Amino acid sequence: MKKVWKLPLIAWFLVTLGIGIAIGTVMYTLVIPGTITILPPEEGTYEIKVYSDADCTQEITSIDLGTAHVGDDVPFSFYVKNTGTITIPVIRMYMEISGVQLTTFGTTVKNLEIGQVRYVDLSIGIRADAGAGTYSLEFELECCA
């Protein structure tokens, strides 16, 4: 009879010890301090223009992608030129067609020097569930420092 009361006490001790170890391992956090120096952007003007020709004589000011069927990949090619006074580290490009989800689109151009021209060849995927109709679109080029 003397041994019976020890069994619940031992079980309680093991459960308490297990919970303590489990909580103890989750509660430990190591914090390592550090520093970073963020420099201001370079002085200058960010400006780009988009052209339909390699000589950059025909600026694109509006886009007509023509006619496409659902599920088509619509090609869209152009030249982007840095017309600003500073090198552009990254140019991100997005297209949004109002009311239509695109399956593929989005690209980046990196390190575009002053006066440099870069050819960009894109494919815009029209999802198979797109409805018939004429849609407006916006093509956005974002210069990032």
Q: Is residue 129 part of a domain?
A: yes
Number of residues that make up the chain: 145
Q: Is residue 86 part of a domain?
A: yes
Structure-model confidence comparison of residues 116 and 30, the more confident one: 116
Percent of the chain having pLDDT more than 90? 30
CB 78 within 8 A of CB 60: yes
Mean pLDDT of the region 106-122: 90
Tokens of 129: 């569930």
| pTM as predicted | 0.68
Closest residue by Cα to residue 137 from 52, 82, 66, 33: 66
How confident is the prediction for the chain on average, in pLDDT? Answer: 83
For Cα atoms 120, 126, 129, give the angle at the middle one, nearest 5 degrees: 165
Residue 136 predicted with pLDDT over 90: no
Q: How many domains does the chain have?
A: 1
Q: Is residue 31 part of a domain?
A: no
CATH of the domain at 98: 2.60.40.10
Residue 23 predicted with pLDDT over 70: no
DSSP 107: E
Mean pLDDT of the region 98-110: 73
pLDDT band with cut points at 50, 70 and 90 for residue 40? confident
pLDDT at position 118 is 96
Beta strands 117-126 and 73-82, pairing class: antiparallel
